[in-house]
Amino acid sequence: MTNKTQVADFYVGRGETAEYLGTIRGDDVDPESLKAITRFQSELDFRREVKKLILGDEATSNDGTTWPHRYATSGASDWVYCFDKATVHVYEEGHQVLSLLCNGARKEAEFPWHGGLSSTD
């Protein structure tokens, strides 16, 4: 049995016009290990943190100037993180599994009033 090193690709935007920022490899590229929910809070943070991740281990990363994979799209990568419209969309093996709303996109949920005490009472 072989252990496959995981791959994570990073983009700003989604679809055909997405900007590829780079790729990192390792055992700690999943959202929990990357602390994605607190690490990526704006497009500027996303770009800065991705650059740090790539520069942090140049031996196992790619800076986005060339395509590092034998396959044609990130749909075959273990993890893909796309910052788009104040949200980081996370894909696992080509399927969206998580959406992380950045601070500016978060708002309190609106629920119907059913009587009783309000949450401020």
Domain ranges of the chain: 6-105
User: How many beta carbons lie within 10 A of that of residue 71, not counting itself?
Assistant: 9
pTM of structure:
0.81
- Helix ranges, the chain (H): 31-34, 36-39, 43-56
- Of all residues in the chain, what percent carry a pLDDT higher than 70? 83
User: Which residues have C-beta within 8 Å of that of residue 83, sequence separation ≥ 6?
Assistant: 11, 12, 13, 40, 43, 46, 47, 89
Ranking 17-21, 40-44, 80-84 by mean pLDDT, the lowest is 40-44
Euclidean distance between CA atoms 97 and 75, whole angstroms: 13
pLDDT in tens, 31-75: 999 988 888 888 999 999 999 988 886 656 777 888 899 999 999
Q: Report residue 23's pLDDT band, with 50, 70 and 90 as the boundaries.
A: very high
Give which of 25, 22, 11 is closest to 81, Cα–Cα. Answer: 11
pLDDT given for residue 1 in this prediction: 44
Tell me what the pLDDT averaged over the chain comes to: 85
